[in-house]
Amino acid sequence: MASAHVMEFTDSNFDAEVLGADKPVLVDFWAEWCMPCKILAPTIDEVADAHTGTLKVGKVDTDANREISVKYGISAIPTVIIFNKGEIAKKFVGLTKKEDIEAALAEMS
Protein backbone atom coordinates (compact mmCIF):
# COMPACT_ATOMS: atom_id res chain seq x y z
CA MET A 1 0.00 0.00 0.00
CA ALA A 2 1.32 3.41 -0.95
CA SER A 3 2.19 5.94 1.70
CA ALA A 4 -0.29 8.73 2.40
CA HIS A 5 2.73 11.06 2.22
CA VAL A 6 3.40 10.40 -1.48
CA MET A 7 1.68 12.78 -3.88
CA GLU A 8 0.91 12.42 -7.57
CA PHE A 9 2.68 14.97 -9.73
CA THR A 10 1.36 15.64 -13.24
CA ASP A 11 2.16 17.81 -16.23
CA SER A 12 -0.40 20.31 -14.92
CA ASN A 13 0.68 20.54 -11.27
CA PHE A 14 4.45 19.93 -11.54
CA ASP A 15 5.57 23.57 -11.67
CA ALA A 16 3.50 24.59 -8.64
CA GLU A 17 4.06 21.47 -6.53
CA VAL A 18 7.74 20.79 -7.35
CA LEU A 19 9.47 23.86 -8.75
CA GLY A 20 7.55 26.24 -6.49
CA ALA A 21 7.96 24.17 -3.32
CA ASP A 22 9.41 25.76 -0.18
CA LYS A 23 11.26 22.55 0.76
CA PRO A 24 13.17 19.85 -1.13
CA VAL A 25 11.07 17.59 -3.35
CA LEU A 26 11.81 13.97 -4.28
CA VAL A 27 10.20 12.95 -7.57
CA ASP A 28 9.95 9.30 -8.61
CA PHE A 29 9.45 8.93 -12.37
CA TRP A 30 7.79 5.53 -12.92
CA ALA A 31 5.29 3.53 -14.98
CA GLU A 32 2.76 0.85 -14.09
CA TRP A 33 4.44 -1.81 -16.29
CA CYS A 34 7.94 -1.19 -14.87
CA MET A 35 8.98 -3.99 -12.47
CA PRO A 36 12.03 -2.12 -11.06
CA CYS A 37 9.67 0.82 -10.36
CA LYS A 38 7.45 -1.49 -8.31
CA ILE A 39 10.50 -2.78 -6.42
CA LEU A 40 11.56 0.80 -5.63
CA ALA A 41 8.08 1.92 -4.48
CA PRO A 42 8.38 0.74 -0.84
CA THR A 43 11.69 2.62 -0.53
CA ILE A 44 10.04 5.82 -1.78
CA ASP A 45 7.22 5.29 0.74
CA GLU A 46 9.72 4.80 3.59
CA VAL A 47 11.59 7.99 2.68
CA ALA A 48 8.31 9.92 2.48
CA ASP A 49 7.19 8.65 5.88
CA ALA A 50 10.58 9.38 7.47
CA HIS A 51 10.71 12.97 6.21
CA THR A 52 7.12 14.15 6.69
CA GLY A 53 7.11 17.92 6.98
CA THR A 54 10.67 18.47 5.72
CA LEU A 55 10.47 16.82 2.31
CA LYS A 56 7.74 16.65 -0.32
CA VAL A 57 7.60 13.30 -2.11
CA GLY A 58 5.67 12.42 -5.23
CA LYS A 59 5.48 10.25 -8.30
CA VAL A 60 5.17 11.06 -12.00
CA ASP A 61 3.60 8.38 -14.19
CA THR A 62 5.76 8.76 -17.30
CA ASP A 63 3.11 7.23 -19.57
CA ALA A 64 0.43 9.69 -18.49
CA ASN A 65 2.71 12.74 -18.16
CA ARG A 66 4.96 12.77 -21.20
CA GLU A 67 5.52 16.54 -21.23
CA ILE A 68 7.31 16.67 -17.88
CA SER A 69 9.10 13.38 -18.56
CA VAL A 70 10.52 14.75 -21.82
CA LYS A 71 11.42 18.09 -20.19
CA TYR A 72 13.66 16.30 -17.68
CA GLY A 73 15.11 13.82 -20.16
CA ILE A 74 13.66 10.71 -18.56
CA SER A 75 14.89 7.92 -20.84
CA ALA A 76 15.02 5.12 -18.28
CA ILE A 77 12.83 4.35 -15.30
CA PRO A 78 12.80 4.35 -12.44
CA THR A 79 14.48 7.74 -12.23
CA VAL A 80 14.46 9.65 -8.95
CA ILE A 81 15.23 13.37 -9.00
CA ILE A 82 15.60 15.48 -5.89
CA PHE A 83 14.76 19.13 -6.49
CA ASN A 84 15.86 21.88 -4.13
CA LYS A 85 14.66 25.47 -4.67
CA GLY A 86 13.34 24.51 -8.11
CA GLU A 87 16.68 23.11 -9.31
CA ILE A 88 17.86 19.52 -9.76
CA ALA A 89 20.04 18.70 -6.74
CA LYS A 90 20.51 14.97 -7.37
CA LYS A 91 19.43 12.43 -9.97
CA PHE A 92 19.37 8.64 -9.64
CA VAL A 93 18.63 6.36 -12.60
CA GLY A 94 17.63 2.75 -11.98
CA LEU A 95 17.05 0.98 -8.70
CA THR A 96 18.42 3.14 -5.92
CA LYS A 97 19.22 2.17 -2.36
CA LYS A 98 17.46 3.97 0.47
CA GLU A 99 20.88 4.79 1.94
CA ASP A 100 21.90 6.64 -1.24
CA ILE A 101 18.70 8.70 -1.22
CA GLU A 102 19.12 9.47 2.48
CA ALA A 103 22.75 10.54 1.93
CA ALA A 104 21.67 12.91 -0.86
CA LEU A 105 18.97 14.39 1.38
CA ALA A 106 21.45 14.83 4.25
CA GLU A 107 23.71 16.88 1.95
CA MET A 108 20.89 19.42 1.58
CA SER A 109 20.22 20.00 5.26
Residues identified as active-site: 34, 37
Which amino acid is located at 26 in the chain?
Answer: L
Report how far residue 25's alpha carbon sits from residue 57's, in angstroms, rounded to the nearest whole number: 6
DSSP 8-state code for residue 65? -
Asked if 7 and 58 count as a contact pair (C-beta separation under 8 A), the reply is yes
Asked if 23 and 56 count as a contact pair (C-beta separation under 8 A), the reply is yes
Asked if 86 and 20 count as a contact pair (C-beta separation under 8 A), the reply is yes
